[in-house]
Amino acid sequence: MKTFLCKVCGHIEFNAAPDKCPVCGVTKENFIEQPDIIKKPGSTTLGEPEKKHIPTIIVVRKCGLIPEGCVDVHVKVGEIEHPMQKEHYIMNIDFYLDKKYIAHVALAPESVHPAAALHLKANSGTLTAVERCNLHGYWMAETSL
């Protein structure tokens, strides 16, 4: 699987560069292939940096907002909550279904927790969450719906 980065806004796409960046709107030429941009745990024993950056995904089958068929997905960064200070914070949490981009949640420091939620119409497939830390880059997690 290939990973592409938008040089303008930092958006990540999988498999192929899109004709237009879905976040900032620039053309395909602004995407570069970056195979190692998303950090992965160095071993199966997670240290504190991993515990603070790897997203935790919780799939909630029941939705209180859209009761007629909705799969809620909650994402928190990370197992140890990541800081949300001006100098060090989670800039965004993006969601992908079967590696296709579906949502971008931008976060500002200080007032919010490093977390996001989505209300999915899909009830099967692989859900990927990618978070971007302003100091430590991109981290991801995946789960099956």
Q: Which residues bind Fe ion (CB under 5 A)?
A: 133, 135-136
Tokens of 33: 């292939």
CB of 107 to Fe ion, least distance (A): 13
Closest residue to Fe ion, based on beta-carbon distance: 133
- Quick one: 25 or 137, whose CB is closer to Fe ion? 137
- How far apart are the C-alpha atoms of 58 and 48, rounded to whole Å? 20
CB of 125 to Fe ion, least distance (A): 29
- Quick one: 1 or 135, whose CB is closer to Fe ion? 135
CA distances from 2 to 33, 80, 104, 120 (A): 7, 29, 20, 25
CB of 57 to Fe ion, least distance (A): 18
Closest CA to 86 of 132, 134, 139, 53: 134
CB 7 within 8 A of CB 89: no
- Quick one: 104 or 136, whose CB is closer to Fe ion? 136
CB of 52 to Fe ion, least distance (A): 6
